[in-house]
Amino acid sequence: MKSIPLAVLAAALLASACNDPVPLAGPSPVPPTVTDTFTGTLTVLGTNSHPFVVNEVGGVKVTLTSVDPLTKLAIGVGTPSTTTGTCVVLDSKTTDPGTAPQLSGTATVKGNFCVAVSDVGNVTDTVQYTITVLHS
């Protein structure tokens, strides 16, 4: 008689172990509140990268705010390469400078990121630029 209730209990435990687990909720993205401003000199067909650290999962906005003399540049956001020291760009855009972010998205992980500024064939000597990264 004791074997029947134990068999039922074992079957119930086995059945409950086969249920799909409820996925854990990831962290809610926070609005960007940290501003990093980078300036530099870009040469013909050159690329400069600037590192920044995201401390919380959340928004990232990149704005090429000025270029002197005025010309279109490529801007990109990505992660620093541990082997080459360059920025491995995940998203980029060729743009004129402006006041509104030209790139925006969400950093889904905390950690080291970078922003890259590149000449796409428009620079004839050197240019001075300022780029702003808003992140969390």
Average pLDDT for the chain: 86
Write the CATH number for 77.
Answer: 2.60.120.380
Q: What is the DSSP string of the chain?
A: -THHHHHHHHHHHHHHHTSPPPPPPPPPPBPP-EEEEEEEEEETT-EEEEEEEE-SSEEEEEEEEEEES---EEEEEEEE-TTT-SEEEEEEEEE---SS-SEEEEE-S-EEEEEEEE-SS--SSEEEEEEEEEE-
In this structure, the dihedral spanned by the alpha carbons of residues 120, 125, 130 and 135, taken in order and rounded to 10 degrees, is 30
Residue 14's pLDDT is 44
Q: For the chain, what is the domain count?
A: 1
- Whether residue 38 lies inside any domain: the answer is yes
pLDDT at 90 > cutoff 60: yes
Give me the pLDDT at residue 27, please.
66
Residues 42-79: pLDDT tens digits?
999 999 999 999 999 999 999 999 999 999 999 999 99
Residue 8 is assigned to a structural domain of this protein: no
Average pLDDT over residues 10-26: 50
Do the beta carbons of residue 103 and residue 77 sit within 8 Å?
A: yes
For residues 27 and 97, the model is more confident at 97
Is residue 17 in a domain?
no
Region 25-50 average pLDDT: 89
Residue 89's domain comprises 34-135
53 in a domain, yes or no? yes
Residue 118 lies in a domain: yes
Instruction: Verify cis geometry, omega within 30 degrees of 0, for the bond prior to 69.
Output: yes
Residue 117 has pLDDT above 90, yes or no: yes
Residue 5 lies in a domain: no
Q: Determine, yes or no, domain membership for 77.
A: yes
17-21, 29-33, 70-74, 95-99: lowest mean pLDDT where? 17-21
Is residue 112 predicted with pLDDT exceeding 70? yes
Q: Domain for residue 62, yes or no? A: yes
